[in-house]
Amino acid sequence: MLLEPLLTVPAHLVPGGHRWYVDADGRAWNGGLGEPPPGSACRIPHRLACPGLSLDDIEPWRWLAAVRAENTRRATRQACEDDFRGALPDAG
């Protein structure tokens, strides 16, 4: 599961099934549909915040719309940099 990098969200803001918790050893696990523990924070799947993907089936939450807009700005900035070669690196 690809998680949105650099974003930790208060778990009560994220609907059940989309909450991913990361243990101290780096293992991620889905919190399911249960109520999150008070004060807990979680991560979200990258597909929810990726501006290049459609959210037709998922009504975006207000804060997620802001994350998607920022990711759009960041991707546009990176694409416009002088040293951008126009190709993705070979990831295997």
Predicted TM-score (pTM) above 0.85: no
Average pLDDT, the chain: 82
Question: In sequence order, what are the beta bridge partners of 35?
Answer: none
- Listed residue (61, 62, 67, 65) closest to 3, CA to CA: 67
pLDDT of residue 29: 93
First-to-last alpha carbon distance for the chain, in angstroms, is 18
Contacts of residue 2, defined as CB under 8 A and 6 or more positions apart, other chains included, come to 45, 46, 47
Question: Over the stretch 23-80, which tens digit does the pLDDT of each residue have?
Answer: 999 899 999 999 999 999 999 998 888 877 776 655 667 777 788 888 888 888 888 8
